[in-house]
Structure 1
Amino acid sequence: MTLELDVAAGGGAGGPAGPIGGSTEELPAGWARATIAELCDVNPRGFDEEPEDDDFISQVPMAAVEAETGRMDASTRARYGDLKKKSLTRFQENDVLFAKITPCMENGKIAKALGLAGGHALGSTEFHVLRTRGAIIPEYLMHYLLQRTVRVTAEHHMSGAVGQRRVPRPYLESLEVPVPPIPEQRRIIAAIEQQIARIEAGETAARAALANATTLAEQIATQGSRGCLEEVELYQGTLPKADIDDGPVPDLPAGWRWARLGEIASVVGGVTKDSKRQDDPDYIEVPYLRVANVQRGQLVLDKVTTIRVPPAKADSLYLKHGDVLLNEGGDRDKLGRGWVWEGQIEKCIHQNHVFRARVAWDEIHPKLLAWHANGFGKTWCDRNGTQSVNLASISLRKIKLLPVPIPPREVQEQLVKTIELHLEHVAATRTTAESALSRARDLRAALLHAAFTGALVPQDPADEPASALLDRVRAEQGTRAKKAPHKRAARKPRPSPPGQEELPS
């Protein structure tokens, strides 16, 4: 799974310049710098030609623009008359869309409008619209803005409240872009698209390998916790009935048996935060695990918060090596997921949305229980959980009824080693796939940097310099501004009705 990038040696003078606008480094021969305000109409008021009410146009919400790729989905259509009175952004074919709000801007939701119904669209009000004037090709501008370095700099200029910060129009208008001659822009675009196609093919293969590895790991853990990694003869196990929907209960190898979780482990819920008593001097502060820390098959402990609780409550909830943590609430697919605590943090407890199952080691190895809960337990909890408007949960009473396969004690240690060996091989595949995706991100950055510093394609002395074209565009803009109609004169005030005097303004 190898990703490579071919960058032809360009004829840029003075070495590569950084991709951020405003650089003082020398540009390649024939290039010039210009601001986006000089190159584009920013947020034009509407369309060059107004559609009829019965014309179908595209409807483009923010979700229709992909992150990082420059692609958008314009397939949703509606009558213009049904949309035109709504507060939506108007744009047309070949306009460049720039998501201005966090986190869409940081994620690279930038695209050239393409394939619009009737050449027109209404979309999210969180788009800046850039309509190029002729000195820059829309695809070239789009790829320039897609650079992560450009977006990182734009992020520093965002304004507004947290979670609603936006890139201001004046900043975008002032952003300087290195502009090559038009023929070179076309060569750059062709080279970028050719190399991006290769990078995306590698990304597709890496994502497929990652997905396959994830599926295989789940299968290994699920089958292994039931003793089915190798072909063995299976027998129908007995499970005492309970007031619960167990669904199909799998057969087990000879010598195995089914038990309920509450029979083999002490299961308790965690602490609920009492906001009103967090300043109580009798309380002690301890680290505690939340649902976000308890993932399927692993504990993520890079961000562990603290909570103040009564000392007696903390004593009853301190985690011990071998405790199995299982999620009680959250999104429905998170119910029952979890992993084994191995004493990573001293005197740590858990919140109320996380169950602690302290197993009897003479009954079952904790990892076997955790693997089983992440496989069979996932569908079992989904079947028996409850759903409110925003939160799914499973009660303590029900989780104690989770069916658990119990292998003979003498085979458990070897079974755990066998499962872990298989999972190590899968983890190596995951690491390779993740490295390939990281490499692809680096290749994209290197490709775009080369493109906008003159190092991707050679310069042609026969090309008209960009400065000459920019001078004409600026002159045309000046002429157009002079010919623009004057503002309409203010209306004369209507005469006051007879018998009433006009009040002074």
Structure 2
Amino acid sequence: VTPARYIRSLRTAKRVTPKAALTALAFENSFSGVSTLLASRKRLEGLRKRVLVSAIPDKLPGSWRMTTVDDAGTLELGRARHPDWHRGPEMRPYLRVANVFEDRIDTSDVMEMDFSGVWEKYRLEHGDVLLNEGQSPHLVGRPALYRGIPENVAFTNSLIRFQAGDDVLPEWALIVFRRHLHAKRFMREVRITTNIAHLSAKRLKNIEFPVPPLALQKQIVQRCDELLSGIAVMDQQVETGLRRAHALKSALLRQAFTGGLVPQDSEEEPAAPLVARIAAERAAQPKPRRARKTTVKPPAQRVADATAPEPTAAPALAVQQEFEL
């Protein structure tokens, strides 16, 4: 019995118990609630993108200046991984593309390798912005701000580090890069090799970078943080609702398949003996004999195999006649 069939049977039944009616109502509320929550999550994602895209106007005010990423700060690729550096005297943790998400650094799976002699060059500093160099096309350039956690960590060449200049806040650079990500600006600069999109530092340098005054940068960053924090709270509430809806659905299905939704008839055969009896009856039945397959020869082969007819004998009383010319 599926939940949908159960609900349809209750709608057409002549007599429905209060318990069954409440269960059907819970089924419908559970399914419709999940759809509503998923639609709400999609709208929240659209709202989050809208906040980031609208943070920078299409037409810049007079106090702003438009420059490039290269002029707004410095770019650097991380260290390439190599089997020779899996062991060494100066093992250090490093971040790779699997650790950098949008505005979030995942520290659950941080790997290590030897950074002997190059540790200071690749060590991350508070305020560095990390961007994915290689990813799927719609995620390439995904940025996150390093805020000092985890401590004493480096980065590999699957990431690009941006260090903001004197007139650019790291938080403002993060907003600019997140806007470029959602506006699909990075996608116009990617090059795909072996099914992976790459955003080289050379192409990233020439991407436009708007710079408002520092005071205005702080205001926009603060306003975006407030809006995005409110969206995050609503998204967490949606996640809690989805977990509750899935738990309710599991409980209802468990009750449905254990006979707890409708009153049970004590005279009916229990499910376990019924299943065992059906299995025994199927095992006792003789297996049907498989029909022998006959190979049908193609027409050309049948003609070739056929015996040619013998020639017809000439008539015994054949008479040759002559006619005058």
Give the TM-score range, shorter chain: 0.7 to 0.9
The equivalent of 2:172 in structure 1 is 368
Name the aligned partner's letter for residue 409 of structure 1.
L
CA–CA separation in structure 2 for the residues paired with 1:265 and 1:342: 18
Secondary structure in 1 matching 2:138: helix
Aligned CA distance change for structure 1 residues 189 and 476 (closer, same or farther; 3 Å)? farther
Structure 1 residue 263, shift from structure 2 partner:
0.9
Which residue, 166, 182, 192 being the options, matches 1:387? 192
The equivalent of 1:353 in structure 2 is 158
Secondary structure in 2 matching 1:334: coil
CA contact (8 A) 1:324 1:338 kept: yes
Structure 1 residue 307, shift from structure 2 partner:
2.0
1:218-246 superposed Cα distances (whole Å, 9 cap, x missing partner): 2112222x1x5xxxxxxxxxxxxxxxxxx
Q: Give the RMSD, CA atoms, in angstroms.
A: 2.9
CA contact (8 A) 1:192 1:448 kept: no
Matched, 1:339 2:138: no
Which residue, 415, 418, 432 being the options, matches 2:220? 415
Aligned CA distance change for structure 1 residues 332 and 455 (closer, same or farther; 3 Å)? same
CA contact (8 A) 2:175 2:221 kept: no
The equivalent of 2:202 in structure 1 is 397
Aligned CA distance change for structure 1 residues 287 and 467 (closer, same or farther; 3 Å)? closer
Name the aligned partner's letter for residue 264 of structure 1.
A
CA contact (8 A) 1:297 1:371 kept: no
CA–CA separation in structure 1 for the residues paired with 2:169 and 2:126: 12
Matched, 1:484 2:287: yes
Name the aligned partner's letter for residue 434 of structure 1.
E
1:71-121 superposed Cα distances (whole Å, 9 cap, x missing partner): xxxxxxxxxxxxxxxxxxxxxxxxxxxxxxxxxxxxxxxxxxxxxxxxxxx
Answer 1 or 2: which has greater helix percent. Answer: 2
Aligned CA distance change for structure 1 residues 408 and 473 (closer, same or farther; 3 Å)? same
Aligned CA distance change for structure 1 residues 478 and 212 (closer, same or farther; 3 Å)? closer
Secondary structure in 1 matching 2:144: strand
Structure 1 residue 469, shift from structure 2 partner:
4.0
The equivalent of 2:77 in structure 1 is 269
CA–CA separation in structure 2 for the residues paired with 1:325 and 1:309: 19
Which residue, 237, 248, 252 being the options, matches 1:447? 252
CA–CA separation in structure 1 for the residues paired with 2:200 and 2:280: 73
Matched, 1:323 2:128: yes
CA–CA separation in structure 1 for the residues paired with 2:153 and 2:236: 30
Matched, 1:426 2:234: no
Which residue, 473, 491, 502 being the options, matches 2:278? 473
1:8-54 superposed Cα distances (whole Å, 9 cap, x missing partner): xxxxxxxxxxxxxxxxxxxxxxxxxxxxxxxxxxxxxxxxxxxxxxx
Structure 1 residue 193, shift from structure 2 partner:
7.5
Gaps of 5+ in 2: 7-16, 292-325
Aligned CA distance change for structure 1 residues 461 and 398 (closer, same or farther; 3 Å)? same
Name the aligned partner's letter for residue 44 of structure 2.
A
1:233-260 superposed Cα distances (whole Å, 9 cap, x missing partner): xxxxxxxxxxxxxxxxx31123011111
CA–CA separation in structure 2 for the residues paired with 1:467 and 1:407: 74
Q: TM-score, normalised by structure 2?
A: 0.76
Structure 1 residue 273, shift from structure 2 partner:
0.7
Count residues in correspondence: 277
CA contact (8 A) 1:336 1:377 kept: yes
Which of the two has higher C-alpha Rg?
2
Aligned CA distance change for structure 1 residues 254 and 469 (closer, same or farther; 3 Å)? same
CA–CA separation in structure 2 for the residues paired with 1:274 and 1:475: 62
Gaps of 5+ in 1: 1-136, 144-186, 229-249, 489-505
Name the aligned partner's letter for residue 254 of structure 1.
G
Structure 1 residue 486, shift from structure 2 partner:
8.4
Name the aligned partner's letter for residue 338 of structure 1.
P
The equivalent of 1:286 in structure 2 is 92
Structure 1 residue 194, shift from structure 2 partner:
6.4
Structure 1 residue 443, shift from structure 2 partner:
1.2
1:122-172 superposed Cα distances (whole Å, 9 cap, x missing partner): xxxxxxxxxxxxxxx7x59xx9xxxxxxxxxxxxxxxxxxxxxxxxxxxxx
Name the aligned partner's letter for residue 219 of structure 2.
Q
CA contact (8 A) 1:335 1:394 kept: yes
Q: TM-score, normalised by structure 1?
A: 0.50
CA–CA separation in structure 2 for the residues paired with 1:352 and 1:397: 14
Matched, 1:306 2:109: no
